[in-house]
Amino acid sequence: MSIVFHPEAQEFHLFNDQVSCVLEVMANGHIGNLYYGKRIADVPSFAYLHEDRDRPLTAINAPWPSAFSLNYLRQDYPAFGTTDYRYPAYKIRRENGSEIMDFKYVSHSISAGKPSMAPLPATYVEHDSAADSLAIELFDAVTATRLILHYTMFADLPVLARHTEFIQEGEESLCLEQAMSLNLDLPDADYEWVHLYGAWARERHIRVSPLAEGLQSIYSMRGTSSAEHNPFIALKRPAADETSGEVIAASLVYSGNFLGQVEVSTDRETRLQLGIHPNNFRWNLAKGNSFVTPEAVLVYSDQGLGGMSHAFHDLWNNYLVRGEYKNTPRPILLNNWEATFMNFTEADILRIASKAAEAGAELFVLDDGWFGKRDDDFAGLGDWKVNLKKLPNGIKGLSEKVEAMGMKFGLWIEPEMVNEDSDLFREHPDYVLTDPERFASPSRHQYILDFSRKEVVDNIHAQVSAVIRDAKISYIKWDMNRYLSEVYSRGTDAGQQGEVLHRYILGVYDLYDRLTTEFPDILFESCSSGGARFDPGLLYYAPQAWCSDDTDAAERMRIQYGTSLVYPNSSIGAHVSAVPNDQVGRTTPLQTRANVAFFGAFGYELDLNHLPADEFAAVKEQIVFYKEWREVCQFGTFHRLINPFGGNDMAWISVAKDQKRAILGYYQILGLPNPRLLRVYPRGLCQDAVYEVRNQASGAVLRLPGSVIEHAGLPIDRDLLRELGGDFASLLLTFTEVD
């Protein structure tokens, strides 16, 4: 067991070879946190780490003469108002208006494996030996409310998973107004905090800032995890970089509103919290009711941000993604969206698909415009029946023709949305999330279906599953093209309106669960105007996500670089599109567009019929090359080598797990006059192995030991970059172990 309880000390030690967490049952029955960090030896007691003393302006949470004040103690799941004046992990309002709760330790259980969190997505283990779990039960005697703190320590990763469960057993109806998934109190504030911010078409840029006294936060109140902030926070020591130094990171397995915050006290102690955003959240805890928070995962690294990323990548790939595409190479696809938008006929689609098959693509995806009266953004959403004017042989006939070309067939859907001009809206206007006495704000001429209601989810499931069942569909792109506004459910009681946002997300998960269960062979890709809902919650159902609507190679360098901080390449939908780029108007070389997109789930967003002969030949070569190197690109250990934020260069490398092969991408943003010499220093190679290093642009080959490559570096040929066009030029280097 990797979880030990010391009954005399009333302490828990959760550990593996890389990380330790020490908890205590404090004198008042609450749970304290004595240590979180690098693995330490187990001892009979860590009580010396419990530090409290009387201070001016301190209220004492125990009979005098004790110096026991929660405001100066590191707690595991703190409450406000009982001598702790920092932000709480939870808040419960009683019928009399009181918000004072006092959860005291009752018992605990330790078990092998990891319990399911269904209907919430969560990490899992297939064998009990892969993890150990701890449940600590606390009880508030006044309200007869039970609180269970859940922990899972993975055996092979520096990862501690957390969630919390509230159960009301008393007669009184309570209102749960805040319930964070994670609270971590740390003894100092010598950290910088790292998060991912952005907007549409520039998602997940990296921001690093020093901690300061007070509160710093990221959040979403948009109904999705959002393009603006990702549900992830890292605290790194100021000297920590990609390869060294201590990093503590947290990620939330959830797709809706969230709050991540870091509070630094004036005593320079740090409190990290992550969970559902409390704004517009209220959960009714009547007798017999319960609430389970989404899962949060803590990652510890003493090998810098790179070590943190490797832990996240391995966690998501091995313990979150499920089904046929778990650790399975993703197909090379071509999507017709940027080629045709909604203006197409079956003949147009077959012409594009035929050229894709000729190029060697493995999957053709029909995007928006195939259903209802969908000729523009104004109509059709909600009516999931094929438009026979465009596709006289239906999705069934089209999919069979595409499969006859030697490719699989995929389809775009946006099941959470409805247009006012649709049969569904005309029949069920009450299915829309909005207050009927208020103006409903459209976005992209569409409205949000009330997925907090089972009958709405049932309706969409029946429509979409009928389409899938009737055709040969191997891939579904699930889009979501707006944020939520005027959130009011006409099928929910007044006292439960605070539950609607969370129940909406549960409805999304329910539909995903039904479809992935009924059609287990289909590869689902999540999308939300690109990357506005790129989070671990959806990776549980859809093992890859459309990373961004911005397919410009220069911007994608930054987007994919930032995304890799938390998410593996296998999850990052990355395509080559036409130029000038539709999002920014920029023209970049075809080679560079592919060299960026190779480091993800690779595909194309264009009509190959429009390419000149030499570029089409290049596409065929790209597909042949990627098929050879795809597994390394998608599932290798990924190392960020040169940061593109603020610089003119970027580089990364993906190394096969057995270290026998690797592929490195180097990218120059703009050509420079009389440029300085530059070397790139690969990482992750076997030090004693000899590698054949091949420059894919020039054909030049070197044979060098891994230790020489990593420590002496590889010069970048600036003259070759100029020959390749200078601006947005790139190089691919492949590494193959030789005898």
- For the record, the structure tokens of 364 come out as 């053709």
Asked whether 468 and 521 are in contact (CB, 8 A), the reply is no
Asked whether 299 and 309 are in contact (CB, 8 A), the reply is no
Alpha-carbon distance of 319 to 157, in angstroms, equals: 11
Where does residue 137 fall: left (phi above 0), alpha (psi -120 to 50 degrees), or beta otherwise?
beta
Asked whether 301 and 635 are in contact (CB, 8 A), the reply is no
**Residue written as tokens 């892969």?**
130
The values of phi and psi at residue 610, to 5°, are -90, -5
- How buried is residue 220: exposed, middle or buried, by Cβ count under 10 Å (0-12/13-18/19+)? buried
Alpha-carbon distance of 224 to 81, in angstroms, equals: 31
The values of phi and psi at residue 698, to 5°, are -100, -20
Alpha-carbon distance of 692 to 409, in angstroms, equals: 38
Where does residue 37 fall: left (phi above 0), alpha (psi -120 to 50 degrees), or beta otherwise?
left
Alpha-carbon distance of 71 to 54, in angstroms, equals: 11
Choosing from 479, 535, 550, 552, the catalytic residue is 479
End-to-end CA distance of the chain: 42
**Residue written as tokens 């509160």?**
215
Helix 500-518 and helix 454-470, axial crossing angle in degrees, nearest 10: 20
The values of phi and psi at residue 36, to 5°, are -145, 125
Q: Give bridge partners of residue 650 from the DSSP assignment.
A: 667
Alpha-carbon distance of 674 to 261, in angstroms, equals: 46
The length of the chain in residues reads 739
When computed from its CA atoms, the radius of gyration of the chain, rounded to whole angstroms, is 27
Alpha-carbon distance of 444 to 578, in angstroms, equals: 24
Asked whether 634 and 601 are in contact (CB, 8 A), the reply is yes
3-state secondary structure of 142: coil
- Closest Cα to residue 145, out of 163, 164, 172? 172
Choosing from 367, 421, 549, 607, the catalytic residue is 549
Q: Where are the beta strands (DSSP E) in 254-371?
A: 258-264, 270-275, 283-285, 290-292, 295-301, 333-335, 363-366
- Closest Cα to residue 729, out of 655, 662, 672, 647? 672
Give yes or no: 423 in active site. Answer: no
**Which residues, other chains included, contact 41 with Cβ-Cβ below 8 Å and sequence gap of 6+?**
none
CA dihedral of 81, 87, 92, 96, whole degrees rounded to 10? 40
* Cβ atoms < 10 Å from Cβ of 188: 11
Alpha-carbon distance of 110 to 163, in angstroms, equals: 15
CA atoms within 13 A on the CB side of 163: 22
What is 26-93 written as a DSSP string? Answer: -TTS-EEEEEEEE-----S--GGG------TT---SSSTT----GGGS-BSS--SSSS--S--SEEEE
Give yes or no: 479 in active site. Answer: yes
Alpha-carbon distance of 445 to 449, in angstroms, equals: 13
The values of phi and psi at residue 495, to 5°, are -75, -5
The values of phi and psi at residue 104, to 5°, are -115, 150
Alpha-carbon distance of 89 to 31, in angstroms, equals: 13
Active site residues: 479, 549
